[in-house]
């Protein structure tokens, strides 16, 4: 597959802080590439460098096979960017906003009208084209923001947390729209803190922290990196502390927690853990209401790699 974005040895420093540290990665044509990381990991700095919105100390960036420069307007015209902060004109209607942003790239009026209509259909704003942004709900405003960023049908789209603080219905609409953009041929760089979205959307994922790549690959490939092999949840009441401590000593058990109704046992490795644990409960004459197991989620991998400490 063709490389749409090629980042080589990218380094960006802010005085004493090295925000990006010798970063190299590629984004392939037609994929949704998940760029993940905790707050302060370097995601936004990486995106700003790719777009040549800020200078960097060293490294190279190519987009569509050409070196990206601050004045590479031919390349930038093929890129659509939707930042987390909504950026639309409150004085204009929904239709006028989308038409304005599309008009920055598309001069032909008939073509622009079709593109604007396509964008409106994609995000489901047909019933709101005469509304001004202040009258829109948070979810509709997000959808307008996306429409403005993709109306000119860019080949590369950068979406920075497009579903933050929206209701489930709007989120589903946005995710469906993103899939359609990919199916229509766009390459997408996607950042979010919602791991379930990443599992649904992204073909490949890169986890970044402190300006370095901690891991990259498909969702399944990343899950194999987790030391957490299996998480068993047991619904039961009145489990004594002595028995909980005994469970902690079982082979391959990594962690045990109990909240008075749910016992969660995390295994680091091993096979047939749930059947062995059921045999153990039976042998100890511990009765339970329900038991089920879960494999590691992408969220488990993310926390294991980046830590559980709070970030600013």
φ/ψ of 41, rounded to 5, equals -80, -20
C-alpha to C-alpha distance for 128 and 132, rounded to whole angstroms? 8
Sequence-ordered alpha helix ranges (H) in the chain: 43-50, 73-76, 94-103, 109-123, 138-150, 168-183, 195-201, 219-223, 241-248, 273-283, 298-306
pLDDT in tens, 30-61: 999 999 999 999 999 999 999 999 999 899 99
Largest separation between any pair of C-alpha atoms in the chain: 77
pTM of the full structure:
0.87
What is the sign, positive or negative, of the torsion defined by CA atoms of 212, 218, 221, 226? Answer: positive
Tokens at residue 289, please?
């209401």
b/e map of 48-69 (b: 16 or more CB within 10 Å)? bbbbbeeebeebebbbbeeebe
b/e map of 183-193 (b: 16 or more CB within 10 Å)? eeebbbbbbbe
**What domains are defined for the chain?**
3-223 (3.40.50.300), 230-295 (3.30.70.980)
C-alpha to C-alpha distance for 243 and 239, rounded to whole angstroms? 7
**Per-residue confidence (pLDDT) for residue 119, from 0 to 100:** 97
Q: For the sheet containing 262-267, what is the strand order? A: 253-258, 262-267, 230-235, 290-294
Q: Over its length of 312 residues, how does the chain's per-residue pLDDT go in tens digits?
A: 899 999 999 999 998 889 999 999 999 999 999 999 999 999 999 999 999 999 998 999 999 999 999 999 999 999 999 999 999 999 999 999 999 999 999 999 999 999 999 999 999 999 999 999 999 999 999 999 999 999 999 999 999 999 998 889 999 999 999 999 999 999 999 999 999 999 999 999 999 999 999 999 999 999 888 777 788 999 999 999 999 999 999 999 999 999 999 999 999 877 789 999 999 999 999 999 999 998 888 998 999 899 878 776
Cβ pair 175, 150 in contact under 8 A = no
Q: Among candidates 186, 149, 146, which has minimal Cα distance to 27?
A: 186
């Amino acid at each position: 597959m063709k490389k749409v974005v090629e980042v080589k040895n990218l380094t960006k420093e802010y005085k004493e802080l090295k925000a990006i540290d010798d970063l190299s990665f590629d984004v392939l044509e037609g994929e949704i590439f998940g760029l993940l990381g905790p707050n302060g990991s370097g995601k936004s700095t990486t995106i700003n460098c790719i777009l040549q919105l800020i200078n960097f100390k060293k490294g190279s960036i190519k987009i569509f096979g050409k070196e990206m420069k601050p004045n590479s307007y031919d390349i930038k015209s093929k890129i659509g960017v939707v930042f987390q902060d909504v950026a639309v004109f409150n004085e204009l209607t929904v239709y006028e906003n989308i038409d304005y942003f599309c008009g920055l790239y598309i001069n032909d009026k008939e073509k622009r009208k079709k593109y604007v209509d396509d964008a409106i259909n994609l995000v489901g704003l047909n019933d709101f084209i005469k509304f001004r942004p202040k009258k829109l709900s948070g979810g509709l405003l997000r959808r307008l923001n996306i429409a403005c960023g993709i109306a000119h049908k860019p080949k590369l789209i950068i979406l920075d947390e497009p579903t933050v603080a929206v209701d489930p219905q709007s989120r589903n609409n946005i995710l469906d729209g993103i899939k359609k953009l990919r199916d229509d041929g766009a390459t997408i760089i996607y950042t979010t803190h919602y791991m379930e979205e990443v599992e649904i959307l992204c073909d490949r994922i890169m986890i970044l922290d402190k300006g370095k790549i901690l891991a990259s690959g498909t969702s399944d490939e990343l899950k194999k990196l987790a030391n957490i092999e299996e998480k068993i949840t047991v619904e039961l009441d009145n489990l004594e502390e002595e028995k909980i401590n005994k469970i902690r000593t079982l082979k391959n058990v990594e962690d045990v927690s109990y909240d008075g109704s749910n016992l969660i046992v995390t295994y680091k490795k091993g096979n047939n853990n749930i059947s062995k644990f059921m045999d153990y409960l039976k042998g100890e004459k511990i009765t339970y209401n329900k038991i089920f197991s879960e494999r590691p989620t992408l969220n488990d991998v993310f926390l294991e790699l980046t830590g559980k400490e709070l970030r600013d």
